[in-house]
Structure 1
Amino acid sequence: MGSDRFRCVFWLSLVTGYCCSVFASAGNRIPKGVSVADGGGTIVSAGERFELGFFSPNGSRFRYVGIWPYGISVQTVVWVANRDKPLSGNDGVLFMGDDGNLQIRQAGDGEIVWSSNVTASSPNSTAVLLDTGNLAIFPNANSKRMLWQSFNNPTDTYLPDMEVHMDAAGRELKIFTSWKTAIDPSPGNYSLGLDPRGSPQIVIWEGLNRRWRSGHWNGISFIGVTDVRTIYLSGFRLTNQGNGKLFFTYTPSDSSFVKFQIDWAGVERQETWSNGQWRIVQAHPVDECDRYNRCGPFGVCDRTDGMRCLCVEGFAVDDGEQWCRRRSRLECGMDGIGNDGFGEVEGVKLPDFVDYVGLESAKECQRRCLHNCSCTAYAFVSGINCMIWTSDLVDIERFVEGGNTLFVRLAASELGETKRAYRAVIITAAVVGTFLLFISGWLFMQRRRKRGVVAVTNEVPKVGPSRECSIDYSGPSDLGVEGQQGNGSELALYSFNSLVAATDNFSDDNKLGQGGFGHVYKGILPDGQEIAVKRLSRKSGQGLQEFKNEVMLIAKLQHRNLVRLLGCCIQGEENILLYEYMPNKSLDSYLFDPDKKPQLDWSKRFSIITGIARGLLYLHRDSRLRIIHRDLKVSNILLDEEMNPKISDFGMARIFGGNQNEANTNIVVGTYGYMAPEYAMEGLFSLKSDVYSFGVLLLEIITGQRNASFRSTDFSNMVAFAWDLWDKGRAIELLDPSIRESSLQEQVLRCIHVGMLCVQDVAANRPNMPAVLLMLESENMALPSPRQPTFTSMRYNLDEDMWNVNQDAVSSNNVTITAILGR
């Protein structure tokens, strides 16, 4: 009789659980008394982003509880509850137990196979599946305090908004563990996590051994991942909570599904769901050079030479040995220096296990290494600053493009050979370069003689590129690389007649605008493509050299926040550029129009601000060339159909060499109101000149007013007015009244703060663009106080640079997170 009663109660509870599971499938939560039975439904997050329920991997007979993106045709499980205790039948139940824990029970024998194991549980606990994919337990239905969450108990997948916490001086963290096989979610042999020492880096382990690492975090990206150089700009952030506590988060730029996973074969993949399939953004390791320390201590896996193993300078493989050994003994003397020096290893992933990270400049970093007989190498990296190694140099990889420079300590005898070899390379390059320049100049003149001047006729010409446009430098250019000559770049060349047809003979109806160098017209090619045609005025101040400069620069630049050059026309006295057409024209057409400016709500303006910052960061640091724009202003910011900003007009831009940090000019070009004091007064410009212009532009975007036309009885310009409100604690009053209701006050104030840092008189006090972008997008970062602008010119090298920028290093204008947080 007792056994019959037990069976009756059991089946009643099972039926009740099934009914409740149907109820749960209509919502996103599992409160006490509600369960999800296998085959009885699932729960879906409120925004229908993620789904939780029972599943079987393809080809498996076992059942698991997991979470996967909702509405995606390919079921992709991102979290598994009972990964090491699968159910053998379809009678499992997920429910909220009396003790406030989520539990999975095998209905057949009543065994609990998994529990959330909340210690501080509540009798009214409720589990909720959030739109982030996080399954969280709250004390009650109205509480926001989490007692437990799946994000703190991950399996093999990292999702956006998941916080990965670490101690700055802590140990390695193995956070994610791969599946055992493609159909077995039980813990596999590979782990993914972080090594926070020095500066955080992502690491993959195979068992106890390292399999791959990302290189250190520089505040913008992981420096050993060159195929995703701007990964931070796509959403990664490192937040400093103080007391040595840090955490990483990732926020995607759009609403698409993004995930990072360590798969069962030990490969970390970043994937995004696009056009009905998962698209791989990046994956590691993928080849021999990606494999950790493939070439051993002091070895380099060289991608530029067929992934061969080579030794760094001063090292070689002796007969019968496997790894690289130092050829000459170091001469570190009693004073800690001797005659030792450093050899450069360029374009590499820096070695693992850095022993010291500090705020020293590049010169001080070199001196610190030289005075330490144990130091084997040093590097100076933007966003990290001084890095020193005192042990073997392991896991070095030379990239085809990108990477950093490692300075390896060498004996004096090795330095002699290095210098002779270097001089030989320079001499050879100079001879070959001179010969090539002579040939290219001769060919250019031959083409010019044959081409002649083409007159405008009444016939309808064929519109389209007629040949390649070669912009060659036949002599020194004040707007090119100082003291250098380049071969130029290849672009599609359009005939003048074809552009006459495309623009309806440059009619006023097609005019988009005009500047100091000429007019810009809208044109339409025969295939329907819309273009913007910039026709240089013969009376303008922009000559052939400036025109060549703009062509050369834009042709080599590729970034979503820079305007794209499609072609050019050099015919007689006509110098014309063809750009991608921007349907929303320039930013000033919206920002300063009383009727249009409300369309730029705060979210759009903040997106424009960060987009401009990304474009400028690319020019200053991430492009193959190192470029100062020199004419950054609101009218040179174009807007595409989605209101994304694109920096344009590079006629006044200047290319800097690797070690060049400032220059003087006798002719000051640009727009007053945007010019840095040292440039307007002394003709001295640097990367920090662009930062000043960006600060003015940022304030204009916030206020919706032109700096040049700003009028006040008490202040001469907007910068002075902004400082006055900032100093009085009333900075929010700068915000354009037309968008106050749509604004986020904290974000606005942070932008104003950054703007005030950018427009400081002394260039050394201004942040560089990596720091600017970091400050704009890091909500919890403490910012330094700006100094009051006095609107006088001062040479920036007379003042100590509070941003720890080393102006002599190859990677100049750098900032460390520590320096920002500590001030």
Structure 2
Amino acid sequence: MRVPVSSKIGVSNPYRSWKSATDPSPGNYSMGVDPNGGQQIVIWGKEGRRWRSGQWNLQFFIGIPYMSNNVSSFHGFKISLPDETGTMYITYKPPTQDLFRFVISWEGKERQLKWDDDKKKWLPLQSEPDPDNKCELYNYCGNYATCDRSNSRRICNCLEGFKPKFKDQWDQENWSAGCERKIQLQCQSTNRTSRENGKPDGFKKLKCTKLPDLATLLPSEENTEACGKRCLENCQCKAYAFVTGIRCMVWTGDLIDMQHFQQFQQAGNFLFFYRLHHSELDGGRKISNLVIVIICVVVASFLVASLWLLWRYKKKVKVSSMPCCKDKDVAIFDVSKSKRKEFSADLSGPSDILIDENQDNGPELPIFNFGVVAAATKNFYEGNKLGQGGFGAVYKGELPGGKEIAVKRLSGNSGQGLEEFKTEIILIARLQHRNLVRLLGCSIQGEEKLLIYEYMPNKSLDNLLFDATKKAELGWRSRLDIIEGIARGLLYLHRDSRLRIIHRDLKASNILLDAEMNPKISDFGMARMFQGNQNEANTVRVVGTYGYMSPEYAMEGLFSVKSDVYSFGVLLLEIVSGQRNTTFRSSDHTSLLSYAWRLWSEDKAMDLVDPSIRDTCSPNEVLKCIHIGMLCVQDSAVHRPTMAAVVLLLESETPTLPMPTKPTYTFLRSAIEEEYIGDAQEIVSSNDLTVTLQY
């Protein structure tokens, strides 16, 4: 089949994906060729470009490293000469007698398949790019940034001479806004004298890179030097490259969709040059020895003065985090060492909260002035209330300077008291993970106890999941991302954090969603911390939400990491079904879990799926999630998987899943509820309630 390429007709996207794996009607993705700036294969989604191959250099597509390293295996690609209409055609002739297919899958991924005559089926080639490589997503890191999946520290990095456009978002691994220049180009300076007398801009050399998109071709330039000179003469030219088979390429717009490859392409021996202010180039900033000496003296003097001031005023150091706030009653305090010691003594955790057999020394986070928080929430105005729980209310606030916050205000008659307040401070202040809510500080004034968190624009998961009018906003892909994010957050708590924490109250209302719908586990007031070699503990005070509690915890007070696994299983089934476990009622079942087990055991698990996503979800992914959920809610803690195993199963394409056992505790609880509880009553234990059940 021939794919047309013509600058006159523009973009050609003749290939359309299926709607789903089993529905051949037109789907959300198309594939074709963009002839502008060098011919390249592009995949489009609803929001525009999703993936591109990089430009064609008469041998291979330069943005696909496995092609450039194995050119002989891909010599079947060719672009014909222009016909009478000026149209060219991309064709592919197999290098052997084998049968090949190039397809766009219903998930929007380009694949090359080879027919296996022995197995009588199409098999993907081993040379395909990793489908889980986020760097393959179009402009994943934003403008003026490169994506490098081999970088274990940070996958996205700004080009040298650039900085993150929004530092806070960048630190939270939201890279979509990209980067911006640190120093304006000399040729774009508004100062005419500086522009005429200053040193000219230069170019920084970069290799091992997928060239940016949206280039302009200058085929008349015959080498790298001529190409660079042409770019330097035009102040709007941001970068250039000379590629054999394509010739001179220049970029006058933003540099977008750049990817760093682990090794330089042997067959694609080209370099990329991007424009910088002369001071950003190597050797651009030469500081004399005298200047270095002066700087060292100034810095040393500053340090000595700072140390003296700290010693002189160590009893009371007050620092305002907002320079615009001159009123001393509207300030944010950080406490000095001595004050922090007093505060830590007052807020030391319960005796069972230990770190390496030593009592924790309390929180190390800013303490907010109560007046600041009251002003930020308009004196806890009802219109700013985000939600209400057993602990009290949560309010939206805005600090001076525009930073939005969420304030958790413990009420006087709350079941959650000082112990839970201290626990939450001690635990969450020391936890750092993208799927855990971030605690910004706390405030105590008399009976008022406040926790200040980062604001989550999409509120809690239950706000969307269980609302008939809003649940359609949660498509299957969003739900799967939320499931995987919660799993990774729990894995961090159970295994990767040095504190080893059991949450004990995992439920939909304790999962918050940020602007990008990333899940954040919140509310650590009921959490317990284990020592490094401790696996299980017992409590006489059972707390949490009945319906998410594991059998051994609800009836015996035993809790472990497997207690959270049970709660995760319940939450997973709620996300898939869009129904709340504690209020589920049907003609034959009073529990979502018993209903799910019946459908799963009768091979009718797809009936459990929320109708709002049933037609658009991936059946294989949904069935895998339901299977994992049934494994997590087994009665015996020994039989439940760990969160490490759950994460592995969720991320595996075709995992081997064991068969779960029937959750008899669920059926027993359903019978008890049916006999003693009204049809619409939700069973939620108070934070101080001790639950005892007898068989």
Sort the TM-score into its range (normalised by shorter chain).
0.5 to 0.7
CA distance in 2, matches of 1:39, 1:525: 47
2:478 aligned residue (599, 604, 608):
604
SS at 2:583 equivalent: coil
Residue in structure 2 matched with residue 561 of structure 1 by the alignment: 435
Cα deviations by residue, 1:169-221 (Å, 9 ceiling, x for unpaired)? xxxxxxxxxxxxxxxxxxxxxxxxxxxxxxxxx9xxxxxxxxxxx9xxxxxxx
Distance 1:28 1:531, change over 3 A: closer
Contact 2:485 2:518 (8 Å CA) reproduced: yes
In the alignment, residue 464 of structure 2 is paired with which amino acid? Y
Contact 1:494 1:569 (8 Å CA) reproduced: yes
1:623 aligned residue (481, 497, 500):
497
Residue in structure 2 matched with residue 745 of structure 1 by the alignment: 619
Residue in structure 1 matched with residue 535 of structure 2 by the alignment: 661
In the alignment, residue 623 of structure 1 is paired with which amino acid? S
Report deviation, 1:523.
0.9
In the alignment, residue 80 of structure 1 is paired with which amino acid? S
- TM-score normalised to the size of structure 2? 0.57
Report deviation, 1:743.
2.3
SS at 2:383 equivalent: helix
Contact 1:50 1:68 (8 Å CA) reproduced: no
1:466 aligned residue (328, 333, 337):
333
1:506 aligned residue (372, 380, 391):
380
Contact 1:520 1:532 (8 Å CA) reproduced: yes
Residue in structure 2 matched with residue 276 of structure 1 by the alignment: 255
Distance 1:21 1:648, change over 3 A: closer
Q: How does 1:486-505 map to 2 (within 5 A)?
A: 486-505=360-379
CA distance in 1, matches of 2:433, 2:256: 26
Whether 1:764 aligns to 2:669 is no
SS at 2:501 equivalent: strand
Contiguous gaps of at least 5 residues in structure 2: 16-32, 81-91, 134-148, 156-172, 179-206, 214-252, 264-313, 319-325, 669-695
In the alignment, residue 334 of structure 2 is paired with which amino acid? R
Residue in structure 1 matched with residue 52 of structure 2 by the alignment: 50
In the alignment, residue 255 of structure 2 is paired with which amino acid? G
Q: How does 1:301-380 map to 2 (within 5 A)?
A: none
Contact 1:587 1:637 (8 Å CA) reproduced: yes
1:681 aligned residue (550, 555, 558):
555
Report deviation, 1:103.
7.1
2:651 aligned residue (733, 758, 777):
777
Distance 1:254 1:135, change over 3 A: farther
Contact 1:479 1:546 (8 Å CA) reproduced: no
Cα deviations by residue, 1:336-381 (Å, 9 ceiling, x for unpaired)? xxxxxxxxxxxxxxxxxxxxxxxxxxxxxxxxxxxxxxxxxxxxxx
1:695 aligned residue (554, 569, 593):
569
CA distance in 1, matches of 2:358, 2:124: 62
CA distance in 1, matches of 2:508, 2:563: 16
Cα deviations by residue, 1:386-412 (Å, 9 ceiling, x for unpaired)? xxxxxxxxxxxxxxxxxxxxxxxxxxx
In the alignment, residue 68 of structure 1 is paired with which amino acid? I
CA distance in 2, matches of 1:586, 1:621: 25
Contact 2:591 2:666 (8 Å CA) reproduced: no
In the alignment, residue 505 of structure 2 is paired with which amino acid? D
SS at 1:690 equivalent: helix
Please state which structure has a larger fraction of its residues in strand: 1
Which range is displaced more, 42-51 or 733-742? Answer: 42-51
CA distance in 2, matches of 1:746, 1:569: 48
Contact 1:610 1:776 (8 Å CA) reproduced: yes
CA distance in 2, matches of 1:668, 1:253: 38
SS at 2:599 equivalent: helix
Distance 1:118 1:253, change over 3 A: farther
Report deviation, 1:277.
6.5
CA distance in 2, matches of 1:683, 1:750: 31
Q: How does 1:188-267 map to 2 (within 5 A)?
A: 227=153
CA distance in 2, matches of 1:133, 1:723: 34
Identity %: 50
Distance 1:277 1:558, change over 3 A: farther
Report deviation, 1:68.
2.9
Contact 2:208 2:260 (8 Å CA) reproduced: no
Distance 1:148 1:117, change over 3 A: farther
Contact 1:481 1:654 (8 Å CA) reproduced: no
Contact 1:613 1:772 (8 Å CA) reproduced: yes
Contact 1:25 1:42 (8 Å CA) reproduced: no
SS at 2:358 equivalent: coil
Whether 1:547 aligns to 2:535 is no
Report deviation, 1:488.
2.8
Q: How does 1:316-465 map to 2 (within 5 A)?
A: 462-465=329-332
Distance 1:655 1:275, change over 3 A: farther
2:95 aligned residue (118, 126, 142):
118
Contact 2:40 2:61 (8 Å CA) reproduced: no
- TM-score normalised to the size of structure 1? 0.49
SS at 1:491 equivalent: coil
Report deviation, 1:617.
1.3
Distance 1:524 1:254, change over 3 A: closer
Report deviation, 1:552.
1.9
Report deviation, 1:573.
2.2
Report deviation, 1:748.
1.6
Residue in structure 1 matched with residue 393 of structure 2 by the alignment: 519
Contact 2:505 2:545 (8 Å CA) reproduced: yes
SS at 2:378 equivalent: coil
Report deviation, 1:462.
4.8
Cα deviations by residue, 1:423-472 (Å, 9 ceiling, x for unpaired)? xxxxxxxxxxxxxxxxxxxxxxx989x99xxxxxxx98754422249462
Contact 1:21 1:42 (8 Å CA) reproduced: no
CA distance in 2, matches of 1:665, 1:741: 45
SS at 1:673 equivalent: coil
Whether 1:79 aligns to 2:67 is yes
Please report the RMSD computed on the Cα atoms of aligned residues, expressed in angstroms.
5.1
CA distance in 2, matches of 1:553, 1:716: 36
Whether 1:480 aligns to 2:353 is yes
Report deviation, 1:489.
3.4
CA distance in 2, matches of 1:281, 1:654: 43
Cα deviations by residue, 1:266-306 (Å, 9 ceiling, x for unpaired)? x999999998368889989xxxxxxxxxxxxxxxxxxxxxx
Report deviation, 1:782.
1.9
Contact 2:424 2:524 (8 Å CA) reproduced: yes
Cα deviations by residue, 1:546-592 (Å, 9 ceiling, x for unpaired)? 21221122122222211111111122222111111112211111122
Contact 2:62 2:68 (8 Å CA) reproduced: no
Distance 1:689 1:525, change over 3 A: same
